[in-house]
A = this chain, B = another copy of it.
Amino acid sequence: MVTIKDVAKHANVSITTVSRVLNQTEHSVNSETRERVLNAIKELRFYPNAMARGLHLNKTKTIGLIVQDISNPYYPSIVRGVEDAAQELGYTVILANAYRSRERTTKYLNVLREKRVDGIIFTGGGAVKDAAEDNFFERNPVSTVVIGKSFNAKIPSVQVNNVQASREACEHLIRQGHRQIVTVTGPEDSTTAIDRLEGYRQALMANGIDYREELVLRCNFEFDEGYKAVEKFLDVSNDKATAVFAQNDMMAIGIMKALQEKGLKVPENVAVIGFDNIPLASFVTPMLSTVAVPIYELGRTAMRIMSDLQSGHEISRITTLPTKLLLRQSC
């Protein structure tokens, strides 16, 4: 590999000078010698060694992005958002799939430490919690941004108002005349799931409808569970639902499938509304009505905050992005 030394020799200057034109410091360089250096760089196809640079500056211009599972259709948009912003801001991103495993999270955190990433963006509360329990934050100087609810007030977060958004979704169903509204939840330790359930409850309360545990189907945000829960509900429950509020789109899609297989039409017999607006939502038949979460923007914003953090800018601890009720065909 060609080094700064080679360039210096070729241009007949010191490496100091090469470094100076490379970094375009204020320190001025005679325009003629600058030309010479630039030419040498081009001719020799010199690409400065980022490790040597980083070692000195104590900066890597690299950040780690921890997602739970890139296969979950929710995440690719996050990743794109982070990456696009990173690219614009001169950062590179190392992707870490934690698979909701504590062990894997810890392992990755160690690698990211050794690589001396400038910061870490967490997605999904679980990983932050794992990290916190490992005392990761107290012991480390890396900046952190969380996408979702940050249970530590010091860590900046980018989020969405899940309570309010799900309340609005349910109130829409109520306005359509629905009284028997089933909701299908996420895992009980998910703050997102907790908030979305709370919004459901508030909507019912505000409209004089009883909140009944029998209509709350406890699931885990996965397609299969949504499918099975509703299938079972149809088989065994004495209640008749006229609408389903699925707390995310994956489950909503599973639910529509279960409904259709039981001969029920969506939305004629049962209305369905989801949450997230993953790309898939508009591919299914009928197209899913849902609460649109600005997933890509969540990622972009997180990366921008990370960059501000790096430059020591003032930042707000909590950034809330707006959601939007998106009515398509399923309700």
For residue A215, give the distance in angstroms from its CB to the closest CB of chain B: 25
Given contacts A73-B73, A92-B111, A111-B92, contact A141 B50 (CB under 8 A): no
By a CB distance below 8 angstroms, the chain B residues around A75 are 76
Query: Would you call A244 an interface residue if the criterion is a C-beta within 8 Å of the partner chain's C-beta atoms?
Result: no
Query: Would you call A223 an interface residue if the criterion is a C-beta within 8 Å of the partner chain's C-beta atoms?
Result: yes
Residue pair B70, A79 in contact (C-beta under 8 Å): yes
Distance A48 CA – B116 CA, assembled complex (angstroms) = 9
* Interface residue from B47, B62, B107, B114 paired with A49 (Cβ < 8 Å): B114
Closest B residue by C-beta to A47 = B113
Residue pair A83, B71 in contact (C-beta under 8 Å): no
For residue A191, give the distance in angstroms from its CB to the closest CB of chain B: 24
Given contacts A76-B71, A94-B93, A94-B94, contact A50 B260 (CB under 8 A): no
By a CB distance below 8 angstroms, the chain B residues around A261 are 285
Query: Would you call A80 an interface residue if the criterion is a C-beta within 8 Å of the partner chain's C-beta atoms?
Result: yes
Interface residues on A, range: 35 or more
Query: Would you call A153 an interface residue if the criterion is a C-beta within 8 Å of the partner chain's C-beta atoms?
Result: no
* Interface residue from B50, B73, B284 paired with A114 (Cβ < 8 Å): B50
Query: Would you call A280 an interface residue if the criterion is a C-beta within 8 Å of the partner chain's C-beta atoms?
Result: yes
Closest B residue by C-beta to A112 = B92
For residue A59, give the distance in angstroms from its CB to the closest CB of chain B: 10
Query: Would you call A45 an interface residue if the criterion is a C-beta within 8 Å of the partner chain's C-beta atoms?
Result: yes
Residue pair A95, B113 in contact (C-beta under 8 Å): no
Query: Would you call A187 an interface residue if the criterion is a C-beta within 8 Å of the partner chain's C-beta atoms?
Result: no
Residue pair B48, A51 in contact (C-beta under 8 Å): no
By a CB distance below 8 angstroms, the chain B residues around A93 are 94-95
By a CB distance below 8 angstroms, the chain B residues around A116 are 1, 49-51
Query: Would you call A207 an interface residue if the criterion is a C-beta within 8 Å of the partner chain's C-beta atoms?
Result: no
In the assembled complex, 14 residue pairs joining A and B whose CB atoms fall closer than 8 Å, in A order, are A51-B54, A51-B116, A52-B55, A70-B79, A71-B76, A71-B279, A73-B73, A75-B76, A76-B76, A79-B95, A83-B96, A92-B94, A93-B95, A280-B280
Interface residues of A (CB under 8 A from B): 1, 45, 47-52, 54-55, 60, 62, 69-71, 73, 75-77, 79-80, 83-84, 87, 92-97, 104, 107, 110-111, 113-116, 139, 141, 223, 253-254, 256-257, 260-261, 279-280, 283-285
